Amino acid sequence: MTPHPLPAAAVREEGGLDILVHVAGGSSSPAGGHAVMTDEHWDAELAWNFLGAVRVDRALTPLLRARRAGVILHVGLIQARMPLDDGMRVLMDSPGGIPDGRFAPASEIAEVIGFLVSDAAASVVGAEVTVDGGTMKTA
């Protein structure tokens, strides 16, 4: 996968950045987890799920710092913490599964994103918010 250059200069020319919601995640690696993944699989996964966010931040945070305003919000998938070798049905049917008994609809995730980019969350910095119906166990 070849990264596409981010047009930070174009953003600057258009007056800057107020809010950027970067949604990335997924996997094209074979089922079986780390034991079956080749170096090429790892390279592709890291480029897609991690380096994209790094590149966005590196290109655009200087613009936000200069303005002393703006938000970059990264949205990822549960697979970052819980690889799903055989698909979502396995997760639903496993002991504990999803305590809410359903996947979060896009509208609920959008509401959380709306809050996080709003003035009401101005003091929320560097936080991780999990919207997963209780699937990931917390302390």
Token representation of residue 11: 């953003």
pTM above threshold 0.75: no
In a 10 Å sphere around its CB, with 0-12 CB exposed, 13-18 middle and 19+ buried, how is residue 52 labelled? buried
Count of residues for the chain? 139
Domains for the chain: give ranges and CATH numbers. 8-121 (3.40.50.720)
- Rounded to 5, what percent of the chain is helix, strand, coil? 45, 5, 50
Q: pLDDT under 70 in the chain at which residues?
A: 1-6, 78-86, 88-97, 136-139
The answer to whether residues 78 and 136 touch, using CB atoms and an 8 Å cutoff, is: yes
